[in-house]
Structure formats: structure tokens, C-alpha cells
Amino acid sequence: MAQEALIIGAGFAGAVCARRLADKGYTVTLLEKRGHIAGNMYDEADAQGIRVHWYGPHIFHTSIQRVWEYLNRFTDFFPYEHRVLGWIDGQLVPIPFNYASLEALRPEQAPVLEQMLSNAFPGQKRISILDLLNRREPPLKELGEYIYDRVFVHYTAKQWQLPIEQVDRSVINRVPVVLGYDDRYFQDTWQAMPAEGYLPLFQALLDSPNICVCLNCDGLERLTLSEGRICLDGREWIGPVIYTGPLDELFRQQYGPLPYRSLELVTERYDREWFQPAAVVNYPNEEDFTRITEHKYLTGQVLPGTTIMKEYPLAYVPEKNLPYYPIASAESEALYQKYRTLADGYPRLHLCGRLAEYRYYNMDGVISRALELSDSIED
Ligand code: FAD
Ligand code: UDP
């Protein structure tokens, strides 16, 4: 008899696991509490036909060959290299901060500083702002302090509502300082966007006679976990269960809530061809929002008018908004590990994804993890 698998959540974690298990012969039940598939990648067109990334801009990039090849089974891609500008001291300059940013903001000192940078970091194309701050040479230290202040300190305070010193280095180091003119936001081998958007990619992923998707279906209202047994609607589930939602919610927050940051995403429509000169413009300093995305750059669509999205960081309030970003810290990791220990008491339960693993994963990291997890589940 075919084995049954239960999956909670239809983002990349859940959808990739669903497809892989379906291809292995499992009958898969996929519960999704939203009214649509694709998780935070959901990008249905707005009234003007522009595909908007309704849960924030999602740019695909990976150096993991297996992930790239797997996705290519389900969609065509068009090449897309992401470039970001930042509004700094009254100018739009490349982010990550690079030599062009330096030359625009410090034209007179730039040649000397560039020479000093290449002497201080021989052979390196990208460095951490934290390494620049630690330099002893006064001009480099001063440059580090300038970039730190104009690019990182206030953006980070808005995004995380914490002083930058309390934000995990791994978060800050996602955005380097570039020693050269490479103005791409990512350096991965494959940088591309799904030709018709993410939603058709997810439709193709889930297009299997072995997958049954239930939308508007909150798994936590139907699951019970007790003494190593998992029940769905009161019936014990004997196959694998893959959970991709917040781990604290699965255990009714019995040790208290895991902290997350949320966002308010505000879209605006303009009756002109373009709103801004790049897909994303970061506003590290004066504004309340952190960045503006202009979606047509991400979709490659040629349409009149344009739709933009502003991101206002917010505290996460359950029921009111969404848990977008896990907050990395020693305390949150310790709390997460307590929930993880509870999860370990359920041999059929597998955790996968940004929320269930409480990790600041990019899409490719989640897909890679979902491929590995589904490999490890026995046929
Ligand atoms: P999700 O996409 O969040 O999917 C989880 C799903 O589970 C959701 O659909 C949710 O509704 C469902 N769910 C939760 N609880 C339940 C329940 N109780 N019952 C049923 N369903 C439930 N990555 C990139 O690679 N490039 C980017 O440019 C990029 N930009 C990002 C921008 C923002 C603003 C954010 C927040 C993230 C960004 N990411 C980006 C990361 C990317 O969103 C994640 O890596 C990806 O969404 C992880 O997929 P997932 O399946 O783990 O989670
Ligand atoms: N960051 C910053 N200034 C910027 C861009 C990013 O200080 O102009 C910091 C900030 O702390 C942010 C982190 O770098 O949370 C990661 O940025 P990224 O663009 O990777 O964030 P995401 O796209 O995941 O929201």
C-alpha cells in the first residue's frame, strides 16, 4: 500500500518535499493555511498585470548546482542580475558599497583610499564592514566608520529595532563592502528569475496526481502531538510529517514565543513607465521604510505604468502580521533548541524551512535542505 506523507506549509520547503515524496510514490497531503500556494514567493499579478511579490521581493540566486537543476525541471528562467542603489548623503550610489560609491561620495580621497584598501586586503574582492572598522590606519578606519554609519547602523536599527552591536554578525555580513566595481547584489553562479513568475513554478511543482493540496487549512487546528504520536483529525498519522511553520507554534508556545521581525508592505501604483533607476533602492537613513522595490525590474514585463513596494519593518504580532525574519541571538537559539528537543520526541516529525528551522535561509538554502530531507525519508 502507498505510504502517506503529511506536509504543513506550501512554500519552497513544503512544495519541494511534497513533489519529491510524490515522485517516490507517497500519497501526499499538503495543508496550507493561506488561500494560495507558494508561501512568501507568491507573486500573482496586480490589477495592471504586474506580478507583485506580495510578501516582499524575491530574487533567485544560487551556487548549488543541484538546486538550479532541480528548479529547471519546473520552469524556464530569464537571466537577471540584481542591482541595488542606496540613497546616501543626497545621492543614489551602489549597494553593496563599492569603488563607484566611494568615488561618488568622496571623489577627492577615493584614489588614495582605493590604493590603501587594496594594500590592506590583498587579493580580496569583498570584505566585511566589521573588518574595515577594525583597521588601524586612520583613513581606512574613518572610511569604515563612514560606511558603517551611512549604510548599516540606521538601516539595521530600523530593520531589527536593535542597536547594531546586538545584531548577529552573520546578518550584517550578508552585505559586504566591495573592493572594485562589481555592483551586483549577489555573486552566485546562477542568477535568474522564473520566466512567468513563482506561482506557475509552484503550480508545476505541485502538479502530481499523488499530491492533494488543502488551502485555507491551518494544520495546527487539525494536528495533535502527544507522547511521541502525531494525530490528524484524531487519527494517528503513521507516515512522515514535514512541518514548515513556526516551531514554537507547533508546541503551543509552551516555553514562550520565539522572536521574529515582521514587515508592513505598502504598494503604490504610478502611471509612468519607471519610478526609480534600479529594481531596489535602499533608504538606510532618513525614511521609516528600509527599501523600495519596483517590481517590473524583477519580472521583465513590458507594461505601461509601474508598481512599487515600500518595506516598513515592524514587531511581529501573532494574528496581526507575519513572522518574516527569525531574530538570531544566543537567547533565541537556546529557546529554539528547547523546542527542537521536544520535536526530537516525535520520530516521524521532520522540520524544514525558514520558520521550522528558525534560520535566515535564502530560497536556495531551503530548497537544498528540502531535497536532502526528502532523500533521507525512506521509500
Ligand atoms: P515560507 O515561504 O514562509 O512558507 C511557509 C508556509 O507555511 C507559508 O505558506 C505559511 O502560510 C505556511 N504555514 C505556516 N504555518 C502553517 C500552519 N499552521 N498550517 C498550514 N500552513 C502553515 N530569499 C532569496 O533567496 N532571495 C530573496 O530575494 C529573498 N527575499 C526575501 C525577502 C523577504 C522580505 C523575506 C522575509 C525573505 C526573503 N527571502 C529571500 C527568503 C525566502 O522568503 C525564504 O527562504 C523562503 O520563503 C523559505 O521558504 P519556506 O517554505 O521555508 O517558508
Ligand atoms: N543592511 C544594511 N544596510 C543596507 C542593506 C542591508 O544595514 O543597505 C543590513 C541590515 O542589517 C539587513 C542585513 O544587512 O537586515 C541583511 O540585508 P539583506 O539585504 O540581505 O536583507 P533581506 O533581503 O534578507 O531583507
For residue 358 the three cell numbers come to: 528558525
Q: Is 284 in the pocket of ligand 2 (CB under 6 A)?
A: yes
Residue nearest to atom 8 of ligand 1 (CA): 39
Our mutation pick for probing the ligand 1 site, out of 198, 354, 360, counting the most ligand atoms within 8 A of Cβ, is 354
pLDDT in tens, the chain (379 residues): 569 999 999 999 999 999 999 999 999 999 999 999 999 999 999 999 999 999 999 999 999 999 999 999 999 999 999 999 999 999 999 999 999 999 999 999 999 999 999 999 999 999 999 999 999 999 999 999 999 999 999 999 999 999 999 999 999 999 999 999 999 999 999 999 999 999 999 999 999 999 999 999 999 999 999 999 999 999 999 999 999 999 999 999 999 999 999 999 999 999 999 999 999 999 999 999 999 999 999 999 999 999 999 999 999 999 899 999 999 999 999 999 999 999 999 999 999 999 999 999 999 999 999 999 999 998 6
**Rounded to two decimals, what is the model's pTM?**
0.97
Residue nearest to atom 14 of ligand 2 (CA): 172
Residue nearest to atom 11 of ligand 2 (CA): 156
Q: Which of 61, 176, 188 is nearest to 126 (CA)?
A: 176
| Contact residues for 190 (Cβ-Cβ < 8 A; gap 6+) | 60, 61, 62, 63, 68
Alpha-carbon distances of 66 from 17, 76, 142, 340, 364, rounded to whole Å: 15, 16, 43, 28, 10
Residue 163, CB-side half-sphere exposure with 13 Å CA sphere: 2
